[in-house]
Amino acid sequence: MPIGDNIPPQNPPDNPPQPPPPQDTWQQRLLDEEKALSDNIQKLLDFIASPDFQNIANDQQMLLQQQREAMQLYDQILNKRIKLSGLQQ
């Protein structure tokens, strides 16, 4: 038996080489960013609705409300970009 007869082929015909996994695209990053922002908005809304919110200083409450508004505006912008890009969620 010649040397190497027991070595299987590198890429047998029934097992073609697989392409590398897809690279992170700007579209996927956009979807991921919107999802993370949406989750953070919900967490902030839950905190604002909780009794703990009433236990923090009024200036902190006001700033958190402004933060919520800014986050919601940012989320609206991301959702418009998603829609214009033809991406589905």
Q: What is the pLDDT of residue 26?
A: 92
CB atoms closer than 10 angstroms to residue 71: 16
Termini Cα distance of the chain: 59
Q: What is the pLDDT of residue 24?
A: 77
Tell me the pLDDT tens digit for each residue of 1-25: 566 566 666 665 677 676 655 567 9
What is the enclosing helix (H) or strand (E) of 87? none
Show me where the domains of the chain are located: 26-84
Collect the ranges in the chain with pLDDT lower than 50: none
pTM for the whole thing?
0.71
